[in-house]
Amino acid sequence: MRYRKGYVALSDSRDVPVLLLIRNARAITFDQVCALAAIEGSESSRRSVYWRLSRLEGCELIRRMTYDRFFSQPIFAITPLGLQFLEFRGHALLSLPSTAKSIIRKSQILHSVELAGIRVALAQKGLLKSWKWELEIVSRNLAYGTGKMKDFDALAEIAVDGGTKCVAIEFERTLKGSGRYEELRSIFSADRTADRVLYLTPNAEILYILALEMRDVGKRIGFVLSETLRSELLDASILTNSPANDVLSFRQFLLQ
């Protein structure tokens, strides 16, 4: 078969998974794409990932974020054309259609990269059974929501001691106003998505303020430094919203 000049053949088994990964993460580093593509089986080598990303970038389906000058490697995000291509292949999201005015804000870049790092850490140790990004969660809630489901940053099913536990993940880089936390306490108490919420923060000050704000929520909530969770995983120390503010390992937090 002869193709017209300029035609680019894209693979459902190789290109589409990489595009979906970049879209769903919002922003993701080169190393993170390499790690997750290898885990998911769409690519087996960094050279292959580099070639594929360069090709997708050349087709203007993805782009490098200018923010990546602060990183030692590129950060990628999908483009409106990339969203159109995925929609054409049957991978539309209600939460991010190709007609959206903005795909990612600057304030979301570090947030997204941090969450992708957590996913990589859990997956590389064989602890992750499934992971849903915020965009997937929002899209599902828009389609089927009953008003009792929170748009979490991620939902993870984690393998622990022969079983699987579902935990909702929130990443708090900066503190919100007190009024917003009052609203969140009500939302968390009503949510039926997961019976445990794990709050990730970049520093101890935010962690302890969050623990104070969430102490009266009728749901089990844990608080941990994101770097600690990445490095220690099931052994990471989790501050909980129990009456005594108990500190448990992540394994204990999941099992109790």
Q: Give 235-250 pLDDT, tens digit per residue.
A: 999 999 888 889 999 9
Query: What is the residue type of 245?
Result: N
| 130 and 118 within one domain | no
Q: How far apart are the first and last CA of the chain?
A: 60
Residue 165, strand partner residues: 158
Q: Are 185 and 201 in contact (CB under 8 A)?
A: no
* 3: in domain: no
| 112 and 169 within one domain | no
Strands 75-78 and 62-64: antiparallel
How far, CA to CA in Å, does 35 sit from each of 109, 114, 116, 121, 138?
19, 14, 10, 9, 25
| 133 and 103 within one domain | no
> CA-CA-CA-CA torsion for 225, 172, 130, 23, nearest 10 degrees?
-130
Q: What is the mean pLDDT of residues 82-91?
A: 95
| 82 and 23 within one domain | yes
Which residue bears the tokens 């935010």? Answer: 206
Q: Are 177 and 235 in contact (CB under 8 A)?
A: no
| 111 and 183 within one domain | no
Domain count, the chain: 2
| 160 and 183 within one domain | yes
- Confidence band (pLDDT; 50, 70, 90) for 1? very low
| 158 and 120 within one domain | no
| 34 and 137 within one domain | no
* 2: in domain: no
Q: What is the mean pLDDT of residues 30-45?
A: 90
Euclidean distance between CA atoms 31 and 36, whole angstroms:
9
User: What is the CATH number for 120?
Assistant: 1.10.10.10
Q: Extract the tokens encoding 186.
A: 């009500």
Q: Give 155-203 pLDDT, tens digit per residue.
A: 999 999 999 999 999 999 988 887 888 888 888 888 888 889 999 999 9
| pLDDT, position 26 | 96
Domain residues for the domain of 224 are 126-256
Q: Are 191 and 149 in contact (CB under 8 A)?
A: yes
* 63: in domain: yes
Of 124, 159, 191, which residue constitutes the final position of a domain?
A: 124
* 36: in domain: yes
Of 68, 96, 124, which residue constitutes the final position of a domain?
A: 124
Q: What is the mean pLDDT of residues 48-76?
A: 88
What kind and span of H or E run contains 232? helix 226-232
| 255 and 140 within one domain | yes
CA nearest 18: which of 41, 37, 44?
Answer: 37
| 154 and 70 within one domain | no
Of 66, 101, 124, which residue constitutes the final position of a domain?
A: 124
Which residue bears the tokens 């080169």? Answer: 30
